[in-house]
Amino acid sequence: MIDLRHEPVKLAALIDWDVFDEQWSGFVPSGTDRPATPPRLVAGLLDLQHASRLSDEAVVARCVENPYCQHSTGETFLQHRLPIDPPSPTRWRKRLGEEGVEWMLTQTIPAGQKAGALDAGSPKRVAVNTTVMEKASAHPTDARLFERAQAQLVALAAEAVVELRQSHARLAPRLAVRVGRHAHAKPFKRVRKALRTLKGYTGRVLRDLRRRLNDIPQGDLRERILDRLVLVSRLLSQEPKGLAKIHALHEPEVDCISKGKAGVRSEFSCKVSIATTLAEGFAVGMRSFAGNSYDGHTLGAALEQVEILTDRPPELVVVDRGYRGHGVDKTRVLISGTRRGLTRALAADLRRRAAIEPEIDHMKTDGRLARSPLKGTIGDALFAMLCGCGHNIRKILAWLRAILARLIALVIAVMRGGKGRDQIPDAA
């Protein structure tokens, strides 16, 4: 039913799917009578999801509609039902962890070499740069954080059947709206007064719930209440410009990062280090870093991941000026602006450093690197590597598509006049 010359079919033949059966067996032990989901099905769905910029629900639905997607996931007959439940990719990501997802990124590199889109010696020369991967969180205004903290404490108290003196459930949302109106009109004295009142409401609920902790029995609910009390206490005591500031209650690890962009002053997210080959722009390293780390301090960990994924340490790394003081001595590092002692070949490699910038843009626009929906620091690490997998798969598919287009053009030229007849065997 399918065309074996189609790019997804050729890509499925280039990837060694047996590796996932061997390496993922320890991550998904099956202790029940129900057979585990085939690893190729999960790997194929995750690759398709990040190559086509789809959600968990959309990628499962597309697998039913598209027979080429079913072929990529290992099916031999056309299926009319969902291959897995939409929440299943979330459970698989939790099972695999960072080590399991690294195997997916590793397998895209030899697949690119088999297709001819990546030379065998290209991973020796890489470019490294950092970017910001935003988190799925709203802009962290103080009014919103105080109002959300008060609402969450009231909800936990209701779940524990604890009667509070005063919940402020009616006044707090109104006051949060008033803060926004005053901030828009710019009477800042009224803004500060309303914020103090709203902060007082949250503090009252916090102290009232803390006094009634002895009435809550031991268990999971009590632990959740204690964790939330600690987090809200940090929120109420933090300084406006202090370190380790909480920007999101559901993601306390979110950092405020400023990259000097003209349109966006600050981004609330995590930093991701990206390593690509100089010649082709293949992703050979994707690693996230919690905290607003200095770029130079991330270079050692980024090169370590490149060595793990490619089984060889890179011989040359080109970076921008933000990596000064990196401290790496095992690999030669060229920093932008260096002119002395460079041969023509090294100078050309240094000029190629800027080629990583459009690759990062493609990961954000064509892929999903612009916004991470996964929770926690481990979610950031998994999502960054999956975005690298999708980037490499898009490059392989584009390469196969270009080869097919060139072959068709040569065949048409031969049919019209015999021109280019000697080039057809080489292109095939």
**Domains in the chain, CATH or no CATH each:** 7-116+388-421 (no CATH), 122-137+255-373 (3.30.420), 142-237 (no CATH)
Per-residue tens of pLDDT for the chain, all 428 residues:
888 888 899 999 999 999 998 888 777 666 665 657 888 999 999 999 999 999 999 999 999 999 999 999 999 999 999 999 999 999 999 989 999 999 999 999 999 999 999 999 999 999 999 999 999 888 888 999 999 999 999 999 999 999 999 999 999 999 999 998 988 888 889 999 999 999 999 999 999 999 999 889 999 999 999 999 999 999 999 987 777 889 999 988 888 888 777 777 888 888 999 999 999 999 999 999 988 889 999 999 999 999 999 999 999 999 999 999 888 988 999 999 888 888 999 999 999 999 999 999 999 999 999 999 999 899 999 999 999 999 999 999 999 999 888 888 888 988 887 655 555 544 44
Per DSSP, the residues of 131-182 read EEEEES-----HHHHHHHHHHHHHHHHHHTT---S---TTHHHHHHHHHHHH
Length of the chain in terms of residues written? 428
| 8 A C-beta contact, residue 201 and residue 171 | yes
pTM for the predicted model, two decimal places: 0.88
> Token digits for 14?
């280039």
Which among 93, 70, 91, 71 has a CA at the least distance from the CA of 82?
Answer: 70
> Token digits for 114?
């088999």
Count of CB atoms situated within 10 Å of the CB of 261: 10
